[in-house]
Structure 1
Amino acid sequence: MSLVKIRNALFVAETRNLRAHKYVFSKPIANFDVDRPSAGTGKAFYAITGPQKLAFLNVVAAKYIPDPPLGRVYPQFSDTHRSDQIQYLNFMENSGLDKVHMAARYESYSYKGTLEMKDDVNSVINYVTGANNYNSNTVVAENDTYVQKLCELFGLDELRNKWINSLSNGQMRRARISKALINKPQLIVIDDPFLGLDPRATEKVSELLRRIALELDAGMVLGLRIQDKVPDWVDNLAYVDESGLTACGPKSTARLVIEERHKEELKLHKTREALSEEIAFVEVAPQAINSTTTVDDPIIEFSNAYVSYRGTDVLKNFTWRIQRGSRWRILGENGLGKTTILLLLTADHPQLWRSVVSIDGTLRKTGQGVSYFDVNNRIGISLPELHATVPPRAYAHDVVYNGLVRDIGNLNFKFKYKFSGDQNELPKEAQNLLKVFAPELAKIRHLRFHELTVSQQKLVLFLRAAIKNPDILILDEAFSCMDDEVLMNKCHEYIAQEMPKTTVLAIGHIDWEVPVHEHVITLHGDPQRGYSFATRAKAKVNKGEQR
């Protein structure tokens, strides 16, 4: 007996759309089943891809309404307990996390003692077990054997007493997956489970999902991008577009259909992937890359910067001089301080006062130098947390224009840029940006942020960061969720060709997701909090080259 069975069903996102026949897909979903692994049918594990994968995941997870009503059924779940049996994890949503100021992510917990933090409602262990939700009737005891196993498997043992908002992007993803599994669901639906994870963590999480699904005898449906590698243990692959489910079956068969439909995109992906593998970087001594000869016009300087949380060093004796107009990639496993470095620059990190950071020779110290707003007027930033910060009903174009509003910082979306609507009133660089991306913006002009696809949301946040023509462009996993690689490539080309004077600092675990760069800094995570530098072996970076 199937966990979920769909037969000849159309779907609507809201009840009011039933009468208007405003369906999510233009054609009915004819046939789709997810079974338990123990059934032996080979229909327990699915990867869903395509431009409408998120909509289909909503269908499987009972978020959308079927027409006819019995077009989708869950034969093994009772209606009263269905929500406990199905776990849907969509990383675009906050899932109960507070929309706190970004700085809180890094330090609000750090002055609490161990015992106090253990009892804090927002600790990692309380988040995972549900104890941070006073309305929850399904809190699981933290000493439960299954809870302890989850924490151990997903690398949360050492993090269990940390404040949940203090976790890095990758750590947060592991915590949210653990929370989704805490009540032993029978149908697990996860969109983009591996994005934001470093390669080692990706392999580990993939294997853990397989093990947990087999242990729970649960069906699992994963949302992946077209170019993503499908885990070996996933049996089936399905493709979803605006018309509905257009290909579904064993991976080898469905992959042929997808490759035929996306020849150009996959060809581009293979080309860019090959380029990234060909380009070599050679390690350079810190004293050489930080010398006044190498960096004769520094825009950013870290001098023995230091950040520590409850006795654990994150940055220690960190020195880095960044040449104006240079392009950098910041590497390191999850939780080693990559985003911390960027938030020191924007003054969104409370331990800025402990670190010597200069921008254009002006010291960034509390009560000294330029103000928080002065500095952020010159910085454009796109990072994963912004998805949860944007008001969901804000229109896409208002979010883009918000980047032109001065003196509000980079994390504030409450203010609209005021102008008549005539783009000739905008700065020259902004006019150029809007002209280049006019075709993409025309498609989403009348859509609200929450109605956009992941790729479109990523585009909007990138354009918001770039529209002010910033001196410094910070891209923290800015393109990590884009399944439209043609669009990603266009963004990369814009940076390379239209922003030659901008200093770019990018974080990304996958080579082809990161814009062209000449330098790499890698954080090692050893007790000395070591780091190393590397420079591109090629002497010249060609315009438009994508790695």
Structure 2
Amino acid sequence: MRWGACATAAKRSFHVTARPYHSTVKHVIQIDNAAFYRRYPGIKDAPGSNPPLLEHVSFTLPGDDGRGPHQSWSVISPSSVARTTFLQVLAGQHICIPPQARSYPYLSAISQSPQHAIKYVGFDAERGSSVGGTSVRGAYLSARYESRREETDFCVQDYLTGHTELNALERDDPAVDGPTFDEITRQLNLRPLLQMPVANLSNGQTRRARIAKALMAKPEVLLLDGPFMGLDPNTLRTMAEVLRQITERQQPRLIMSLRPEDGVPEWVSHLVVVDEHSRVLGKGAKQDLLGGDVKASNKAEMLRILNAAEHAHSSASRIQVSRDGFERSSPPLVPGEALVEMRGVRVAYGDKVVLGDWKQNVSGEETSGLWWSLHRGQRCAILGPNGSGKTTMLSLITSDHPQTYSLPIKLFGRSRLPAPGQPGISLFDIQRRMGHSSPEVHAFFPKGLTVRRALESAWADAPLSKPKLSQDAKQRVDACLRWFARELNPAQSGPTVAERLESATDDEAAHKLHARIIADNADLDWASKLTFREASFSNQRLLLFLRALVSQPDLVILDEALSGIDEALRDKALLFLSQGEKVRQVVDNVAQPSMLARIGATVVGGLSPQQALLVISHAKEDVPGCIREWICLPEPGEGRQPRSGVLLGPLELNPGAWGEIWGR
């Protein structure tokens, strides 16, 4: 696994403050054969009610005497839960058994607590993707698209210096290290953004701001959970160079988590490999692990995880069917009526143009603004660098953006404002005809809803209002819950309904078993008890993904909907998006039909030709195999018109197309 060449290193480095030297170098983090629990284990615990999060963990982050080579560590796992849990353990979270098995000798020697000396930064909705540190701004999401500044619109400089309290009497103005602030903001390229409201930052800008905030505290250890997740290729290279420089300075020491598909940067020297079941398979120098020259449990599984990205690329020529059931060459569907029409859209806040600052060739004529449409049957991806206007474009489609009313936009054949002889389309009409999943939806979705109510809210005017369910709607909810019972229900120990049907002796036996299960419906009692809050991060993303699909809306919008989700779950979700219950898995280039399809009992059949799909993603692996059209927005301020094109088949089987989309 080799990364491409990183961006050229900056000529200057961060301001370096010498660390105190101790004659005896002490370990920064020391863990010796420990188990970790969410709550303290007790004899009164019911069997299986408090399983260990991690077991048999041993890890050492050495101190630095300036004489030996630096160690740069990464935790790699296909499970987002395993990656996050391991980093949280290093940060001093979770119960350690025995308690003395985890220690911080170096931090004790310099009289620092782990809470202050170790900073954890995660990059998803559950772990605090907002830089503001307050939910005030989230009370009115569309406010981010307005030019008026509110008192709660803290700028980047306020955020980095800690000036984010509304009440001046409660504000404890911290002393800001001027040279450190200048060096950090310069190195992370934040100086042009210092006066920008934090809510207006793009994804990549937000990550740089959150890393800068952590660096301002001058920690001994910086833990970054998924720093490359959801970044476009250009921003990813920039971020990789920033992290490389931090690693070389070792101030702070950097430990980050990676997905297998991220690959391993060349400058990472040591790895911890954790599998989907949170078992530590191996740890040590990267070259030793990749060569298999290390004692490790389940060595074959460890090597599979380490080489996942490389294997996927090298085997692309042998795979003929994508993981979601599409052949290498599969033409797009014939487009139907237009669902979204933009005819010369230009979005500006005062003098600043954020979308449509270009001339576009339309029918042989140069016209201003964005000209674009989406039709029934089309599966389209909106791509482009962070900050290029993808979120703005999407907010116009969902009608969250206030300027939707005044711009030349038609949604389902109608504009937001009434026209002669035609009423304007209402927000409720739009919501009923769109299914939308995104990290922003995830961040503000009501956490107290049960799993069942979360899916049923697809038929409600708002998540907390009462849904209007037909018998068909109830059957579709049940079908989704059964298909993903093992993933959504943590107490699922025996075979699921789908697994029981697959093991039936013949079609007639499967048909009778299915009829009994449907009549009883007791297998889904858990869905009315388990809440959204109790589900893991991956399962929450899965629920919102299913919520966008379950009501069969005219337009399905997936905005980074599967970002951060576990690899196996992501693949199953993409297969369900395209095939529904008809296909259970793809094995050896063959889409295996499910028993439900064989007995004619499928309820959810995947996307129909009457539906349109719109996807925003920065990771090739998260793009569904059915995507055929794409539009790539230009870098902001360049004035170049967007590029667009058509794919001949799934990106998974046409890897060269990804580089063409991004102009590489």
TM-score over 0.5 for the pair: yes
Query: Aligned AA for 1:298?
Result: A
Measure, in 2, the Cα distance between the counterparts of 1:319 and 1:464: 30
What's the CA shift string for 1:209-245, capped at 9, x where partnerless?
Answer: 2212443532221111122211111111112244642
C-alpha displacement at 1:208, in angstroms?
0.9
Does structure 2 retain, via aligned residues, the 8 Å contact 1:103–1:350?
no
SS state of the match for residue 59, structure 1?
helix
Query: Aligned AA for 1:398?
Result: R
Check 1:120–1:417 CA distance in 2 against 1; reply closer, same or farther (3 A cut).
closer
Query: Aligned AA for 1:150?
Result: I
| Aligned match for 1:499, one of 604, 607, 611 | 607
Counterpart of 1:238?
272
Counterpart of 1:384?
439
Check 1:10–1:447 CA distance in 2 against 1; reply closer, same or farther (3 A cut).
farther
Check 1:80–1:152 CA distance in 2 against 1; reply closer, same or farther (3 A cut).
closer
Say if 2:101 is the partner of 1:76. no
Query: Aligned AA for 1:40?
Result: G
| Aligned match for 1:111, one of 148, 153, 171 | 148
Cα root mean square deviation, aligned: 3.6
Measure, in 2, the Cα distance between the counterparts of 1:334 and 1:209: 18
Query: Aligned AA for 2:105?
Result: P
Where in structure 2 are the equivalents of 1:89-100 lying within 5 Å? 89-91=121-123, 92-94=126-128, 96-98=133-135, 100=138
How many positions carry a matched residue from both structures? 517
Measure, in 2, the Cα distance between the counterparts of 1:75 and 1:140: 28
Measure, in 2, the Cα distance between the counterparts of 1:366 and 1:71: 69
Does structure 2 retain, via aligned residues, the 8 Å contact 1:493–1:545?
no
C-alpha displacement at 1:427, in angstroms?
5.1
Query: Aligned AA for 1:480?
Result: S
| Aligned match for 2:68, one of 9, 15, 40 | 40
Measure, in 1, the Cα distance between the counterparts of 2:229 and 2:431: 28
Where in structure 2 are the equivalents of 1:278-289 lying within 5 Å? none
Does structure 1 retain, via aligned residues, the 8 Å contact 2:37–2:52?
yes
| Aligned match for 2:558, one of 475, 487, 491 | 475
SS state of the match for residue 27, structure 1?
strand
Query: Aligned AA for 1:476?
Result: D
Does structure 2 retain, via aligned residues, the 8 Å contact 1:34–1:219?
no
Please, what TM-score do these two structures have when normalized by structure 2? 0.69
Counterpart of 1:59?
89
Does structure 1 retain, via aligned residues, the 8 Å contact 2:337–2:375?
yes
Measure, in 1, the Cα distance between the counterparts of 2:172 and 2:39: 27
Query: Aligned AA for 1:46?
Result: S
Check 1:295–1:348 CA distance in 2 against 1; reply closer, same or farther (3 A cut).
same
Measure, in 2, the Cα distance between the counterparts of 1:199 and 1:232: 17
SS state of the match for residue 465, structure 1?
helix
Measure, in 1, the Cα distance between the counterparts of 2:338 and 2:547: 25
Query: Aligned AA for 2:216?
Result: I
C-alpha displacement at 1:327, in angstroms?
0.8
Check 1:203–1:267 CA distance in 2 against 1; reply closer, same or farther (3 A cut).
closer
List runs of 5+ in structure 2 lacking aligned partners: 1-25, 293-298, 357-368, 492-526, 580-605, 656-664
| Aligned match for 1:524, one of 628, 631, 634 | 634
C-alpha displacement at 1:136, in angstroms?
7.3
- Percent identical residues: 29
Query: Aligned AA for 1:69?
Result: P
Say if 2:116 is the partner of 1:8. no
Query: Aligned AA for 2:77?
Result: T
List runs of 5+ in structure 1 lacking aligned partners: 282-293
Query: Aligned AA for 1:166?
Result: N
Measure, in 2, the Cα distance between the counterparts of 1:6 and 1:38: 23
Check 1:144–1:494 CA distance in 2 against 1; reply closer, same or farther (3 A cut).
same
Counterpart of 1:284?
none
Where in structure 2 are the equivalents of 1:100-499 lying within 5 Å? 100-101=138-139, 103-104=141-142, 106-108=144-146, 110-112=147-149, 122-133=154-165, 139=174, 141=176, 144-215=178-249, 217-241=251-275, 242=277, 244-255=279-290, 257=299, 258-260=301-303, 269-270=312-313, 297-316=337-356, 317-365=369-417, 369-405=424-460, 407-408=461-462, 413-415=463-465, 417=467, 426=473, 429-443=476-490, 445=527, 448-484=531-567, 486-497=568-579, 498-499=606-607
Does structure 2 retain, via aligned residues, the 8 Å contact 1:50–1:239?
no
Counterpart of 2:588?
none
Range moving further from structure 2, 262-271 or 473-482: 262-271
C-alpha displacement at 1:58, in angstroms?
1.0
Check 1:64–1:131 CA distance in 2 against 1; reply closer, same or farther (3 A cut).
same
Measure, in 2, the Cα distance between the counterparts of 1:360 and 1:382: 19
Check 1:272–1:392 CA distance in 2 against 1; reply closer, same or farther (3 A cut).
farther
SS state of the match for residue 308, structure 1?
strand
Query: Aligned AA for 1:494?
Result: F
Check 1:349–1:49 CA distance in 2 against 1; reply closer, same or farther (3 A cut).
same
